[in-house]
Chains A and B, each alone.
Chain A
Amino acid sequence: MLIERLSPLASSLFSLLAIISLLLSFVMLGSRWLKNYLYAFAAESWAIAALSAAVGFYGSYPELYLIAILTLLFRGLLLPYLIWRIIQRLSVDREIHEILQPASALVVGALSVMFALAVSYRVGTALHLELTVAVLALTVMLSIKLIGFLMLAVRHEAISQILGLLVLENGIFLGSQILVPGMPLLIELVILFDLLIVVACFGVLVGYLMTHIGSTSALRLNRLVG
């Protein structure tokens, strides 16, 4: 198993990249402007691509280089570009109705990181891995997941919700690179393409939302109840 025989340097490099990704999701959680949100997402994807390459290098998994390049191209460049184009077209540049102020959202985010740490530490202890990078990887994976859900819950702009979903998947990507680098390549490749399809769908749907409901805020989606 890779995480049990890591050199200290590799271990700290992985930790650094994981922590950077976690911090970037806090940047997203704390920003009101959709563009900042988008840039933070792109930067997070680059950090994850770097992590893939680092795991590939230290764990000698050559196929992870391919994953790194694809992550960089799709999640780091192409997806942000497509979403940037949607933002330009919609002329919506910030969240207008906030349920939770960014400052309070940051506090809730911090609490969810603590929760994730508690769960991961419990799992790490059960597996006798509490002294390795596995606990950190699991914590970051679960925290990004929880922060993604938090963003889905407190944001209403269609674009924010799309980004929230992508953040959810980023968390899984990040964790799986460290924990299960040997997971079949086929699946990871298909997931990358799958995401692209998702965003294409979303692009179409956002267009529809604009023409038929006249708004891209989920708060206006209130006809179907009961």
Chain B
Amino acid sequence: MVGGLLLALALAPLAAAIGCLIWRGARCCEALNLMASAVSFACAVPLPLLIDGRALLYWNNYVIIDRLSAWVMLCTAIVYFLASIYAVGYMRLLNEEERLFRFYALFAGFGLTTLIGPLMNSVGLYWIAIELTTLVSTFLVAFERVAESMEAAWKYIMVVSAGISLALLGTVLFYWAGSFVLGPRYQMTWAALAGAAPRMNPVLILLAFLLVVVGYGTKVGLAPMHTWLPDAHSESPAPVSAMLSGALLNTAMIGIVRFLAITRAADLGALPQLVVVAFGALSLLVGALFIVRQQGIKRLMAYSSVEHMGVVALGFGFGGALGVAGALYHMLNHSLNKSLMFFGAGNMMRAYGTKDIALIRAVHQYFPSQGGLWLAGAVAITGAPPFGLFFSEFTIMRGGLTPSFSWAVDVMAVLLIVIFVGFMNHFRRMYYSPAQAGCTAPAGKVSAWCAVPMWLALAPLLVLGLWWPAGVWNYLTSIAAALSAGMR
């Protein structure tokens, strides 16, 4: 049952990508990608319900599905589905009908690679899956073919490939450390490494872990390795931005989480956790500083992603049931909310014809319902109640209230307030400041394809903020327990 679902989940985007390259009609490719994303979504939703505490292995132990990967795949599949609906409306505005089949083929391929990343049981294959996401998404970032998106694509592939090569070095060192325990040849699965970890050399593990955190941290967008992120997120088409932010970052975060669990099994003390917490706090700081003085609307959203990945890293770094469960919950909330924000930013960008915050004025006059929706999303993304992010950030903070990490909770609280003020100030100006000279009235209205996914993202956010079912809590704490037991 689970195996069949996984197969359908992976084959649907693959078939769509191949189909797009064969048929090439713009409308046909839209439909193919939309159907593939709907199939993936439909397969990903029941997965968390079907998996009990034990991890299931398939295909000679190369594929693992446990509660952690099922959860991340759910987040990814939601974003892929919403972004595919949105892409239908958004990509038609670009007047690129002849090249549209390439976009959808790459988009389905991007969906495929981000979906299968968390499923990789072999540490090396996980690295390859992450590298493949970079290769596919580079061309999506460069899709608009203007100088800015070329620049963003170049910086993206250079910074991320260089960073991810550090993760490869770390992976090789982990294999080496394991070979002293398991012999020169063994299958390097997460469970094998965690099982051997207590007898591995601590110095070597620590070196390997630092390399891996910096490597995958580049892909997650943790500061100070985040430099590619604002460029790539702001210059790619809006559905791609949503996928990069809501799906890709989580997929890369899983690597850090699993390696952190291995170091916990190795009993290295608090240092590995402290490293993750420090990167998280630094990301929050960088996010806060750049959000306050931001001028581009999509760059604002991109720095907000840096900030939220920092929050997630803090949660995993704090550890414990509250920290890990809060971080996983935050992943889902962030995926929903950031999709909503990028969709809204894409709509406004197209309507006003600019990415400049200073030239977007009086949104609520021109777009009463659309503007209200986007504003609600902005309130949610800054962590204000009654939305899900308030709940998950609060849980993470409670998780950090231990003697060793209470300083990080203080930092987090202050910076979240700074971000709230800075972010809301930008929205205040866009909604209520009088129009200056040089501002033009927006042209056209937002199509249903572009508005519906925003509603679909907001509704669960509101529900998740008001009602946290006991089943979800138990599910997330069982992941936390499995991680702190070293994933055996």
Contact = CB atoms under 8 A, between A and B. Distances in A.
Interface of A: 1-2, 119, 122-123, 126-127, 141, 145, 148-149, 152, 158, 161, 164-165, 168-169, 171-172, 175-176, 179-184, 186-187, 190-191, 194, 197-198, 201-202, 204-205, 208-209, 212-213, 218, 221, 223-224, 226
Contacts of B131: 194
A221 B155 contact: yes
Contacts of B293: 226
Contact of A224 (B161, B183, B230): B230
Contact of A149 (B148, B162, B179, B296): B162
Contacts of A223: 147-148, 151
Interface stretch (B122-130, B264-272, B401-409): B122-130
Contacts of A204: 139
Contacts of A226: 290, 293-296, 299
Nearest to A183: B175
20 contacts: A2-B184, A122-B203, A123-B204, A127-B180, A127-B203, A145-B169, A161-B158, A165-B165, A183-B124, A184-B122, A187-B122, A187-B128, A201-B138, A205-B153, A208-B153, A212-B150, A221-B154, A226-B293, A226-B294, A226-B299
Given A213-B151, A221-B151, A152 B135 contact: no
B205 to A, nearest CB: 10
A187 B165 contact: no
A224 B128 contact: no
A160 to B, nearest CB: 11
A80 B176 CA distance: 30
Interface in B267-295: 290, 293-295
Contacts of A201: 135, 138-139, 157
A126 to B, nearest CB: 4
B450 interface: no
Interface in B207-236: 207, 230-231, 234-235
A179 B158 contact: no
Interface string B129-150: 0011001001100100111101
Given A201-B138, A205-B150, A212-B145, A1 B128 contact: no
B51 to A, nearest CB: 27
Contacts of B230: 224
Given A180-B172, A224-B152, A208 B204 contact: no
Nearest to A176: B172
A182 B176 CA distance: 10
Interface string B286-328: 0000100111100100000000000000000000000000000
Contacts of A183: 124, 172, 175, 188
A181 B179 CA distance: 10
Nearest to A171: B169
B459 to A, nearest CB: 34
A49 to B, nearest CB: 18
Given A1-B179, A119-B207, A197-B135, A224 B158 contact: no
A100 B199 CA distance: 45
Nearest to B132: A194
Given A152-B162, A179-B176, 13 more contacts: A126-B204, A145-B165, A158-B154, A172-B168, A172-B169, A175-B172, A176-B175, A180-B175, A182-B179, A184-B124, A191-B128, A194-B132, A226-B290
Contacts of B153: 205, 208
Contacts of A141: 169
Contacts of B294: 226
A212 to B, nearest CB: 5
Contacts of B187: 184
Given A175-B172, A187-B124, A127 B147 contact: no
Contacts of B150: 205, 208-209, 212-213
B128 A168 contact: no
B324 to A, nearest CB: 29
A18 to B, nearest CB: 15
A205 B134 CA distance: 14
B17 to A, nearest CB: 15
Contact of A127 (B138, B162, B166, B201): B201
Given A168-B162, A205-B153, A223-B151, A126 B203 contact: yes
A212 B168 CA distance: 33
List 4 A-B pairs, minimum CB-CB distance, nearest first. A187-B124, A182-B185, A182-B184, A126-B203
A12 B207 CA distance: 27
Given A168-B165, A183-B172, A190-B128, A224 B135 contact: no
Contacts of B162: 148-149, 152, 164-165, 168
A224 B154 contact: no
A117 B316 CA distance: 33
Most buried by A among B135, B165, B299: B165
A165 B179 contact: no
B211 to A, nearest CB: 9
A95 B293 CA distance: 36
Contacts of B183: 182
Nearest to A142: B169
B196 to A, nearest CB: 14
A164 B161 CA distance: 11
A191 B201 CA distance: 27
A1 B186 CA distance: 13
Contacts of B154: 158, 205, 209, 218, 221
Contacts of A158: 154
B135 to A, nearest CB: 6
